[in-house]
């Protein structure tokens, strides 16, 4: 019996202890949820904006600290920015007792749950594709879990995009004695940017970020840049771009037909200047060397046909492979790099066409030389004695006999003329289309060899003229 009494007493004691703990926990929860009443008056309505002078909107000061900019995607025409955003406004309806401030401080940091009971402005990124709060990895993971997606790449390409307002968790709220509320949040966003690539790879992309009030028009809420405006992380470095500074800031009122009204808007312009060093090393310098390599074919005679053809075809294929494998934005219009590619390929193609021309001329030359029979030379002694002789001459493929007569010629020259007939050209003069004899030196000139000699100078001169026109024009347009 005593054992049963002891057990009952122990059970009663345990139940009483549990009830006491639960009651203390309930009181703690009540005190926690009652904290907002310390600074909020009984008649406070968070849906109503803070009172201001008649006809004047509530001023919300805005500032951004850019932590990082990455993933500048030329195919999707967007870029990702990680940043801290700060908003500040005056809330005169608050009742702030002095005992909530620590000694020597004029501000107190509130919990995010307390801030949910305050009036809040509702700015958002007008041109954002995706926006989130806190750590980019944590935010992306949570959104992937909600959508049932596990591949971050698929998430990036997902077209079911979200627009997040700028008041959420992963935030801090600071309340000052002068009843100023300061809101701060760490967030990331993928911002759409309409890029132009006519001057690629010397292009400069100007990408704005538009921040606008969503539901309150410019007569109720006005956004403005604070004194700090937009600041950049001093350690921020981009892979292929230089970020132009200072950043351009604008304040405007934009009309939104979807919302039927004018809304206050803030804009910051990021200027991304592409670095040319990568393309100089990977594209411009190698392609120039390939074009110069094709000029060596002009020093190779036609007896080295396999080597000459192999050199030119290899140069052409190298240029094609180089430009098709380059990281070029897939746009429909012509870019500056396309013009350079066209100039290089046209130069190599012209060298290949020049080889075809000189080969055809050489074939014609060999054919005409071989089809003319060798005629025994006449004895000059008989001509000098004035004797009649039969001269065999080739005219149109037929051989005919005629008397050779001596006609007056210039010193050092002898001309044969038929009886009353006009003077006939020598054998060398019948090959003027593919060969001729230099009157000054008496050396035979062959057409295809002369074309090769001229090409050795003409091709480099034309390419250097192209280079001298290409780069100054490109630099002037990009500046």
315 confidence band (pLDDT: 50, 70, 90) = very high
Res 419: pLDDT:
47
- Neighbouring residues of 33: CB distance < 8 A, sequence distance ≥ 6: none
pLDDT at 408 over 90: no
Res 293: pLDDT:
95
Q: d(Cα 94, Cα 115) in Å, to the nearest integer?
A: 12
Q: What is the mean pLDDT of residues 262-288?
A: 93
- Strand-pairing partners, residue 86, are 63, 184
Q: What is the mean pLDDT of residues 240-267?
A: 88
What radius of gyration, in Å, describes the C-alpha atoms of the chain?
45
How do strand 123-125 and strand 204-213 relate by DSSP bridges? antiparallel
321-355 b/e (C-beta count within 10 Å ≥ 16 → b): ebbeeeebeeeeeebbbbebbebbbebbebbbebb
- Say if CB 127 and CB 192 are below 8 A apart: yes
pLDDT digits (tens, 9 = 90+) for 63-86: 999 999 987 888 889 999 999 999
- Neighbouring residues of 86: CB distance < 8 A, sequence distance ≥ 6: 62, 63, 64, 65, 182, 183, 184, 226
- Say if CB 38 and CB 97 are below 8 A apart: yes
Q: What is the mean pLDDT of residues 329-358?
A: 92
Neighbour tally for 277: CB within 10 Å = 9
Res 17: pLDDT:
57
197 confidence band (pLDDT: 50, 70, 90) = very high
DSSP tag of 97 = -
Lowest mean pLDDT among 144-148, 162-166, 377-381, 462-466: 144-148
pLDDT at 377 over 50: no
Q: d(Cα 203, Cα 196) in Å, to the nearest integer?
A: 8
**Mean pLDDT value across the chain:** 77
pLDDT digits (tens, 9 = 90+) for 426-436: 444 444 467 77
Q: Is the pLDDT higher at 416 or at 97?
A: 97
290 confidence band (pLDDT: 50, 70, 90) = very high
Q: What is the mean pLDDT of residues 315-336?
A: 88
Q: d(Cα 60, Cα 226) in Å, to the nearest integer?
A: 9
458 confidence band (pLDDT: 50, 70, 90) = very high
Helices 285-294 & 447-478 angle (0-180, nearest 10):
170
Res 439: pLDDT:
73
pLDDT at 23 over 80: no
Is residue 283 packed enough to be buried (19+ CB in 10 Å), middle (13-18) or exposed (0-12)?
buried
Q: d(Cα 130, Cα 188) in Å, to the nearest integer?
A: 8
Lowest mean pLDDT among 222-226, 324-328, 351-355: 324-328
* DSSP state string for 370-406: HHSPPPPPPPHHHHHTT---B--EEETTEEE--B-EE
Res 440: pLDDT:
75
- Say if CB 463 and CB 291 are below 8 A apart: yes
Q: d(Cα 345, Cα 316) in Å, to the nearest integer?
A: 7
Res 153: pLDDT:
41
Res 33: pLDDT:
39
pLDDT at 414 over 50: no
Q: What is the mean pLDDT of residues 400-426?
A: 44
Res 96: pLDDT:
85
Q: d(Cα 392, Cα 400) in Å, to the nearest integer?
A: 6
Lowest mean pLDDT among 30-34, 37-41, 367-371: 30-34
- Neighbouring residues of 132: CB distance < 8 A, sequence distance ≥ 6: 139, 140, 143, 162, 164, 187, 188, 189
pLDDT at 18 over 70: no
Res 248: pLDDT:
92
Res 27: pLDDT:
44
- Say if CB 309 and CB 297 are below 8 A apart: no
Full-model pTM: 0.69
pLDDT digits (tens, 9 = 90+) for 102-135: 888 888 888 877 888 889 999 999 999 887 776 5
Q: d(Cα 62, Cα 86) in Å, to the nearest integer?
A: 6
How do strand 241-256 and strand 180-192 relate by DSSP bridges? unpaired
pLDDT at 61 over 60: yes
Listed in sequence order, the DSSP H helices in 204-284 are: 277-279
Q: How many residues are listed for the chain in this entry?
A: 479
Question: Highest mean pLDDT: which of 44-53, 150-159, 412-421?
Answer: 44-53
Q: What is the mean pLDDT of residues 295-301?
A: 90
- Strand-pairing partners, residue 174, are 109, 182
Cis peptide before 293 (omega within 30 of 0): no
- 3-class SS at 241? strand
Q: What is the mean pLDDT of residues 392-407?
A: 41
Res 367: pLDDT:
81
Res 389: pLDDT:
41
Res 328: pLDDT:
81
């Amino acid at each position: 019996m005593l054992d049963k009494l002891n057990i009952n007493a122990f059970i009663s004691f345990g139940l009483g202890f549990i009830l006491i703990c639960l009651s203390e926990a309930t009181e703690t929860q009540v005190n926690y949820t009652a904290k907002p009443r310390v600074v909020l008056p009984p008649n406070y309505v968070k849906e109503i904006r803070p009172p201001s002078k008649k006809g004047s909107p509530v001023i919300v000061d805005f500032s951004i600290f850019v932590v990082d900019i990455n993933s500048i995607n030329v195919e999707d025409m967007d870029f990702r920015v990680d940043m801290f955003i700060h908003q500040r406004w005056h809330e005169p309806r608050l009742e702030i007792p002095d005992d909530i401030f620590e000694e020597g401080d004029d501000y107190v940091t509130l919990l995010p749950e307390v801030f949910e009971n305050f009036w809040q402005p509702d700015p958002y990124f007008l041109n954002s594709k995706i926006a989130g709060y806190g750590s980019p990895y944590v935010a992306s993971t949570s959104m992937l879990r909600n959508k049932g997606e596990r591949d971050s790449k698929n998430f990036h390409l997902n077209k079911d995009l979200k627009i997040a307002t700028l008041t959420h968790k992963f935030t801090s709220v600071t309340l000052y004695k002068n009843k100023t509320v300061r809101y701060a949040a760490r967030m990331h966003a993928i911002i759409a940017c309409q890029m132009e690539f006519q001057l690629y790879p010397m292009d400069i992309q100007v990408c704005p970020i538009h921040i606008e009030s969503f539901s309150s028009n410019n007569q109720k809420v006005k956004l403005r840049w604070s004194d700090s405006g937009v600041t950049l992380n001093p350690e921020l470095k981009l892979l292929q771009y230089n970020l132009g500074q200072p950043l351009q800031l604008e304040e405007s009122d934009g009309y939104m037909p979807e919302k039927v009204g004018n809304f206050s808007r803030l804009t910051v312009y990021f200027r991304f200047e592409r670095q040319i060093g990568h393309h100089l090393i990977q594209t411009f310098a190698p392609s120039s060397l390939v074009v110069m390599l094709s000029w060596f074919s002009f020093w190779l005679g036609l007896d080295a046909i396999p080597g000459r053809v192999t050199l030119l075809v290899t140069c052409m294929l190298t240029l094609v492979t180089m430009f098709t494998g380059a990281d070029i934005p897939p746009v429909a219009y012509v870019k500056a790099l396309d013009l350079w590619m066209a100039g290089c390929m046209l130069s190599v193609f012209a060298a290949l066409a020049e080889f075809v021309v000189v080969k055809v001329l050489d074939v014609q030359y060999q054919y005409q030389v071989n089809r003319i029979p060798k005629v025994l030379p006449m004895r000059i002694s008989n001509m000098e004695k004035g004797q009649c002789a039969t001269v065999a001459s080739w005219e149109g493929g037929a051989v005919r006999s005629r008397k050779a007569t001596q006609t007056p010629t210039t010193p050092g020259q002898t001309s044969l003329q038929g009886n009353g007939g006009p003077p006939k050209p020598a054998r060398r003069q019948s090959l003027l289309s593919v060969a001729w004899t230099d009157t000054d030196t008496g050396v035979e000139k062959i057409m295809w060899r002369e074309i090769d000699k001229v090409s050795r100078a003409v091709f480099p001169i034309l390419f250097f003229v192209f280079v001298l026109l290409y780069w100054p024009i490109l630099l002037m347009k990009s500046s």
